[in-house]
C-alpha cells in the first residue's frame, strides 16, 4: 500500500490521519475499531403498529379522521424502516479515549482507511526504530 492515502476527504500521511477537519497524529493512535450500526427496529415497528391500530379503529368506528391519521402514521413507519441505512464507523482509540473519526455507508472504504492507518503506523514505527538503531557516526 502506498502513502499518502487521500480519498473522499480522508487523508492518511506518514504522520497523521485527517478526517473532516479532525487530525489524529499517528503516534497518539493506540488502536482502530470498525463498528457497524444496524437499523433501528423499535421506532418503525411501533409507528406502523400504532398506525395500523388507529386506522382499523377509525374504520370500524366510522371515523374518517382516525382512519386517515392511522394510515399516515402507518406509512411513516414503513418509510422510516426503508430510509434507515446501515452505517460503518471508524473509531480511533487514543489513550483511554474512544473517538469517532469516520462514518460511511461503504464498509470497504472504512476498511481501506483502517488498513492505510495501520500501514502508516507500521512504516512509521519501522522508520523510528531504524533511526534509533543507526550509529551516531562515531
For the chain, the structural domain boundaries read 5-38+86-133, 42-83
Q: Are 9 and 119 in contact (CB under 8 A)?
A: no
Q: Are 35 and 91 in contact (CB under 8 A)?
A: yes
Average of per-residue pLDDT values in the chain: 79
Q: Is the pTM of this model over 0.75?
A: no
5-38+86-133 is a CATH 2.120.10.70 domain: no
Q: Are 98 and 35 in contact (CB under 8 A)?
A: no
Q: Which pLDDT score, from 0 to 100, does residue 2 have?
A: 55
Model confidence at 99, pLDDT cuts 50, 70, 90, reads: confident
Model confidence at 128, pLDDT cuts 50, 70, 90, reads: very low
Q: Is the pLDDT score of 75 beyond 80?
A: yes
Model confidence at 133, pLDDT cuts 50, 70, 90, reads: very low
Amino acid at each position: 500500500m502506498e502513502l499518502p492515502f487521500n480519498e473522499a476527504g480522508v487523508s492518511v500521511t506518514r504522520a497523521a490521519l485527517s478526517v473532516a477537519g479532525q487530525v489524529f497524529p499517528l503516534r497518539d493512535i493506540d488502536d482502530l475499531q470498525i463498528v457497524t450500526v444496524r437499523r433501528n427496529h423499535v421506532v418503525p415497528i411501533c409507528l406502523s403498529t400504532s398506525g395500523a391500530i388507529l386506522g382499523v379503529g377509525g374504520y370500524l368506528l366510522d371515523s374518517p379522521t382516525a382512519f386517515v391519521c392511522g394510515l399516515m402514521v402507518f406509512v411513516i413507519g414503513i418509510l422510516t424502516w426503508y430510509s434507515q441505512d446501515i452505517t460503518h464507523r471508524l473509531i480511533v482509540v487514543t489513550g483511554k479515549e474512544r473517538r469517532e473519526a469516520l462514518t460511511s455507508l461503504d464498509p470497504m472504504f472504512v476498511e481501506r482507511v483502517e488498513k492505510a492507518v495501520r500501514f502508516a503506523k507500521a512504516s512509521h514505527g519501522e522508520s523510528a526504530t531504524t533511526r534509533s538503531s543507526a550509529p551516531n557516526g562515531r
